[in-house]
């Protein structure tokens, strides 16, 4: 139901907007820190979007919380009438999927304007899947637990090695301490790793070998985890944004995405954003799997 509600927001489409009454000042709530990549992206958007809107408007970046975006999402959700946009990282959706008690925000009705995504593959040594492998992940509570889930479904005995961010995972792989990791195709090639699975997400370009075919709530949860890993950040409007205002924002976002590489707008952005939020049954399936697969805690 949540995903259908979000897709229903596409009625305004991404065509040229009618005249819309926009406020003169809008805040762009974004995760910190000030020197982080999300803050830098927010600054780019705050500079690039206003000139493309049908009326004069200032977009001021306001940083809230850390890079996982949970604090920023909570601040944004607190007042749906506040003239604000949110830069939401996929990590915030992953926290909600995993049942992080901090992530008490409801994205139903949020209207995505554009997003920035990255290609990502699960890669390892050799063309074929091994019978067993040690896989680098950040933590079981992160969406990177998907790497273990994919290997489990493929019949590989996977041992998670947590506490390894992207750079540490690459060093561990190069040193032979792990045999699999999540990486961009370029970084995987540089390490001599072979893509085993690409993380397919609706609306985003296909990369690498397909995921194991599966249906049901847990499969939907895996797709949501894949979306959380590939969507670096999504720019969203609040649930009570008028149709005219949402159309104006989306029009500007589409024009900006045409000018700047790495940004995705239009129906593709809508589909990828909707994939971040699976059903309650899928969330329960993911949390149950986490509890069983990592019984010592996350």
- Which domains are assigned to the chain? 2-117+225-278 (3.40.190.150), 121-214+284-293 (3.40.190.10)
Instruction: Give the number of other CB atoms < 10 A from CB of residue 37.
Output: 14
Residue 137, pLDDT score: 97
Residue 270, pLDDT score: 97
Tabulate helix, strand, coil % of the chain (nearest 5): 40, 20, 40
Token couple for 244: 């005219």
Residue 56, pLDDT score: 83
Low-confidence residues of the chain: pLDDT under 70: 1-20, 213, 297-298
b/e burial code for range 106-124 (CB count within 10 A of at least 16 → b): ebebbbbbbbbbebbbbbb
Mean pLDDT of the chain: 92
- CA atoms of 9 and 11, how far apart (whole Å): 5
- Is the pTM higher than 0.85? yes
The answer to whether residues 177 and 161 touch, using CB atoms and an 8 Å cutoff, is yes
Residue 286, pLDDT score: 97
Residue 211, pLDDT score: 76
Q: Which residue has the tokens 């050799």?
A: 126
């Amino acid at each position: 139901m949540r995903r259908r509600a979000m897709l229903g927001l596409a009625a305004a489409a991404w065509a040229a907007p009618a005249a819309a009454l926009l406020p003169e000042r809008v805040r762009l709530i974004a995760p910190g820190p000030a020197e982080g990549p999300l803050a830098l992206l927010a600054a780019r958007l705050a500079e690039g979007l206003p000139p493309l809107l049908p009326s004069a408007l200032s977009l001021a970046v306001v940083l809230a919380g850390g890079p996982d975006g949970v604090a920023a999402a909570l601040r944004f959700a607190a007042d749906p009438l506040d003239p604000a946009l949110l830069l939401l990282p996929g990590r915030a959706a992953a926290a909600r999927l995993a049942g992080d008690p901090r992530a008490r925000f409801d994205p139903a009705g949020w209207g995505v304007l554009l997003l920035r995504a990255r290609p990502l593959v699960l890669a390892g040594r050799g063309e074929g899947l091994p019978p067993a492998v040690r896989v680098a992940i950040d933590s079981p509570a992160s969406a990177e637990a998907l790497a273990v889930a994919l290997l489990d479904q493929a019949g590989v005995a996977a041992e998670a090695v947590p506490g390894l961010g992207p750079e540490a995972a690459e060093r561990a792989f190069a040193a032979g301490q792990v045999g699999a990791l999540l990486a961009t195709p370029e970084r995987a090639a540089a390490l001599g790793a072979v893509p085993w699975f690409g993380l397919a997400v609706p609306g985003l370009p296909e990369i690498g070998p397909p995921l194991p075919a599966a249906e049901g709530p847990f499969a939907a949860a895996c797709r949501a985890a894949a979306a959380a890993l590939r969507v670096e950040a999504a720019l969203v409007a609040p649930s009570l944004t008028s149709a005219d205002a949402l159309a104006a924002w989306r029009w500007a976002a589409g024009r900006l995405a045409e000018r700047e590489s790495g940004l995705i707008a239009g129906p593709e952005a809508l589909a990828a954003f909707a994939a971040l939020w699976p059903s309650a049954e899928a969330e329960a399936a993911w949390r149950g799997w986490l509890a069983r697969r990592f019984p010592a805690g996350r």
